[in-house]
Amino acid sequence: MTKVLVSDPVDQAGIDILSQVAQVDQRTGLSEDELVSIIGDYDGLMIRSGTQVTAKVIAAASRLKIIGRAGVGVDNVDVPAATQQGVLVVNSPEGNTIAAAEHALAMMLSLSRHVPQAHSGMRNGKWDRKKFVGNELYKKTLGVVGLGKIGSHVARVCQAMGMDVIAYDPFVAADRAQQMRVRLTELDDLFRTADYVTLHIPRTKDTENLVNADLLRTMKPTARIVNCARGGVVDEAAIAEAIDQGVIAGAGLDVYASEPLAEDSPLRAVERGLVLTPHLGASTEEAQENVAIDVAEQIRDVLLGLPARSAVNIPGLSAEIMQRLKPHLQLAETVGLLVSQLAGGHVKELELRLQGEFAHHPSQPLVIASLKGLLSAALGDSINFVNASLEAKARGIQVLEVKDESSRDFAGGSLQITTRGDQGSRSVTGAVFADDELRITSIDEFPVTVSPSRHMLFTRHRDMPGIIGRLGSMLGEHNVNIASMQVGRKIVRGDAVMVLSIDDPIPDALLETINGIDGIQEAHPVTL
């Protein structure tokens, strides 16, 4: 029976979705050793930020197909180890977008108007109006570090509040920033210029302690900084010292290098100009429900053999790309599987030719899908979108990509996969027709128009009278029903190919007999 482990508290809506397809066990607060001891029994794992999915855990997860993080950050998952083992890692990049953005805005407003300190004073019986004179956000300059979904939302709201917005994001094109009415600048210039800086970046090797003492000293003494992104991207001791010494006016922090925040953290000693919250960025009822539903649906789909929307360890396969390229990815996988069965022996090289409109699509997802199809016949269920590239590399398969925008063979373009190996080269071309219908359009440059089916038979033969009839009669004698038949040739009385869609697989003995028919040069049964 399919089983899913939920090792952190998640919204019941997510549990209900998982329960449609699997037995769901909720066990929270597990240590690494405890998780290692049970993870081998599960096909799926759903977590939040509490569970540490280490390489040791993944190594013990012999059945695991997918890890779902109900949130954005996956720094508590050893993604390379998961990738190596063929385990899909998904997150919910949009489920808590609004919640995280609004918390960053709340931090900015709280800092500007000293809300926590004023509230604490009131609770203690004080009335300190003069002590807590604040600042307006109107006409101030906001510096956004990271213009992803959350950073972009913060920028839009702050623009509506009358702020000027500048941003640093090396992956955002100038025209995109112009559309957002945001001026792109370098990081150093942003920190020198901004009255408020809000961080919306992941924690990586390059971003760890990005905001350090040196960078803080370049800021205005009236400037404030907010981090509701990931802990560890700011030097917490440096922040505390900068506020105490008046280098900057204040900071709002929701995330920390180590959580929970240590009791002896220097941040806890800062009395003014600092707002601390215990990682509340995604802690709204709406966000918790959204991320739970999003990730649970992805786990459910993967367990049912469907693609995930938001895989973090499949290069180039964002939710948007997955949706837009769904039939093209299916075609690439189908053609890859087909050509692998025609090729037979070891494949040394795979060439992916994107023709016409296909040349405008992102190529990496199509390469991955092609490799998955190519290796599926040999590796079965162990090959997937996650480990296809690694498995191909391990087997010494060289991958070539060719884009030919000028090719106009079909309105939507076409995709040709060519393999080269021990038994020569084989090529299959396919296209996506109207209503996302897949068609095989050529085999070894012989033109055909075939809809892929579960069981097929491909032959290469001499174009001579009677050969098709003899083959049809032989299949009939063995009770093999032909659903459709296509013949393609380049010249009259030359070589030709024949493609038959059949209801049942070809028995080995029958295949041997077919290869014995005069005029048939080769015959290959294919199962898709």
Give the residue numbers marked as catalytic.
Answer: 230, 259, 279
Q: Count of alpha carbons within 13 Å of 522, Cβ hemisphere only?
A: 11
Query: Are residues 438 and 452 in contact, defined by beta-carbon separation less than 8 angstroms?
Result: yes
Chain centre distance of CA 203: 18
> Measured between alpha carbons, how far is 97 from 152 in angstroms, rounded to an integer?
10
Query: By CB neighbour count within 10 A (0-12 exposed, 13-18 middle, 19+ buried), where does 56 fall?
Result: middle
Query: Are residues 442 and 428 in contact, defined by beta-carbon separation less than 8 angstroms?
Result: yes
Query: By CB neighbour count within 10 A (0-12 exposed, 13-18 middle, 19+ buried), where does 91 fall?
Result: buried
For residue 377, which of 420, 429, 339 has the smallest C-alpha distance? 339
3-class DSSP state for residue 186?
coil
Q: How many residues does the chain have?
A: 528
> Measured between alpha carbons, how far is 85 from 105 in angstroms, rounded to an integer?
40
> Measured between alpha carbons, how far is 90 from 100 in angstroms, rounded to an integer?
19
Rg, the chain, Cα only: 29
> Measured between alpha carbons, how far is 40 from 63 in angstroms, rounded to an integer?
6
Query: Are residues 277 and 254 in contact, defined by beta-carbon separation less than 8 angstroms?
Result: yes
Label each residue of 337-381 as H, E or C.
HHHHHHHCCCEEEEEEEEEHHHHHCCHHHHHHHHHHHHHHHHHHH
Q: What is the dihedral of CA 135, 138, 142, 148, to 10 degrees?
A: 120
For residue 168, the cross-strand partners are 145
Phi, psi of 255 (to 5 degrees): -130, 155
Label each residue of 2-68 as H, E or C.
CEEEECCCCCHHHHHHHCCCCEEEECCCCCHHHHHHHHHHCCEEEECCCCCECHHHHHHCCCCCEEE
> Measured between alpha carbons, how far is 311 from 12 in angstroms, rounded to an integer?
23
Amino acid at 357: E
